[in-house]
Amino acid sequence: MATLTIPNSQMAQQESSSRLIDKHGRAITDLRVSVTDRCNYKCVYCRTGNDGAQYAELPVADYLRIVRIFVDLGIEKVRLTGGEPLLRKSLPELVRELAKLRTAVDHAPLDLALTTNGHLLAGMAQPLKDAGLSRVTVSMDAVDPDIFARITRVPGSFHKVLAGIRAAQRVGLGPVKVNCVLLRGFNEDQIVPFAKFARDEGVIVRFIEFMPLEEDRLWTPATVIPVPEVLERLHTFRPIVPLQANMLSETAQRYTFDDGIGEIGIIAPVSQAFCGHCSRIRLTSDGKIRTCLFSQFDHDLYGRMRRGATDEEVAAFIRFTVEQKEARHHIGEPGFLKPSRSMVHIGG
């Protein structure tokens, strides 16, 4: 695994500022925190069939210290992810403490979100809401239970996820977003059923292009369903109407239908990359900073904490690391290298 070492002398030169800005001028306001790289699903586009964690999990107090320092540096949104974050028993405790943090700029509560496969969500939605979670995104790649089981490689999983989505809506963890990774040969015929699902269930369904971040070597350009095909398929159901972006860094192109019912998003990181507006930074379950999903480097934040770094030294390391954020990914270009970790070990 590649690790970039940054000399202390260079770190000391970092000026103190309450905003994280990279060398390309992008403000970094969105932190994704992976709390485990274990998962109870084996989605074909993500994991191999092997079980178990590959990387360590930090104690809640250490995630909390790290996030607090990030928030002091200008982070406004925190998304908890994994692996499958609901496998961490201490998740409600972490959420409860994170919900007490206030943003550095206007002292507003953090936007605190969770990405989950939804398998355990029915029983966890209320405790997470009570702990202070703002909203959830549920990953669900088919509305046909058999296709769903073929993708997750866990029989009987669909109805648990559906119950999880409904519980999240019931307790007020909405608007619930449902993310569907499209993969040629598996679920392109689910696009129209998902449109109906979005309208019937009142959720925002977002189709995501398959990226070369999987453990198995499945990805080729031919496995990606092109955006025009997604739009055409939606159009066979009802005429679609574009919606305005909510903000500049929004990753999804938003659509509704001619009657205004239902919202669909299309996230096309491969064919229509949005790196120029990227506001994200990631922390792995074992406390490494990842500046891009496709990075070749882990930046060892936790190692520094374990060696006794003060909050100021941790903050200086974060600032220095953020500055190094890659301009963009190079998927599909000659010489493209797969990242040094797959999605499940980074945190999506």
Q: Which is nearer to ligand SAM, 39 or 75 (CB)?
A: 39
Q: Kindly state the DSSP code that residue 166 receives in the 8-state scheme.
A: H
Distance in angstroms (rounded) separating the CA atoms of residues 135 and 172: 8
Alpha-carbon gap, residue 276 to 279, rounded angstroms: 9
Among 117, 134, 187, 279, which residue interacts with ligand SAM (rule: CB under 6 A)? 117
DSSP-based three-state secondary structure for 270: coil
The b/e string for 311-333 (b: 16+ C-beta within 10 A; e otherwise) is eebbbbbbbbbbebbbeebebee
> Which SS3 state, helix, strand or coil, does residue 195 take?
helix
**Interface positions, 142-201, toward ligand SAM (CB under 6 A):** 179, 181
In the bound state with ligand SAM, the residue whose beta carbon lies nearer, of 105 and 156, is 156
State how far the Cα of 242 lies from the Cα of 35, in Å rounded to an integer.
Answer: 35
**Residue from 29, 139, 157, 187 in contact with ligand SAM (CB under 6 A):** 139
DSSP string, 64-81: HHHHHHHHHTT--EEEEE
Contact at 8 Å (CB) between 249 and 30? yes
List CB contacts of 146: < 8 A, sequence separation 6 or more.
Answer: none
* Choices 110-118, 221-229, 251-259, 328-336 (CB under 6 A): range interacting with ligand SAM: 110-118
Q: Which of 74, 82, 92, 287 binds ligand SAM (CB under 6 A)?
A: 82
Smallest distance, ligand SAM to C-beta of residue 5, A: 28
Taking the complex as a whole, how short is the minimal distance between the CB of residue 346 and ligand SAM, in angstroms? 8
**36 makes contact with ligand SAM (CB under 6 A):** no
**String marking each residue 200-239 x if it binds ligand SAM according to CB under 6 A:** --------x-xx-xx-------------------------
Residue 198 — left, alpha, or beta (φ > 0 → left; ψ -120 to 50 → alpha)?
alpha
Q: Which range in 78-86, 221-229, 271-279, 281-289 contacts ligand SAM by CB under 6 A? A: 78-86
Instruction: Rank residues 209 and 304 by Cβ distance to ligand SAM and give the closer one.
Output: 209
Is 344 an interacting residue with respect to ligand SAM (CB under 6 A)? yes
Q: Which secondary structure element, helix H or strand E, spans residue 229, and what is its range? A: helix 227-237
Q: Where does this chain bind ligand SAM (CB under 6 A)?
A: 39, 45-46, 81-82, 84, 115-117, 139, 179, 181, 208, 210-211, 213-214, 343-344, 348
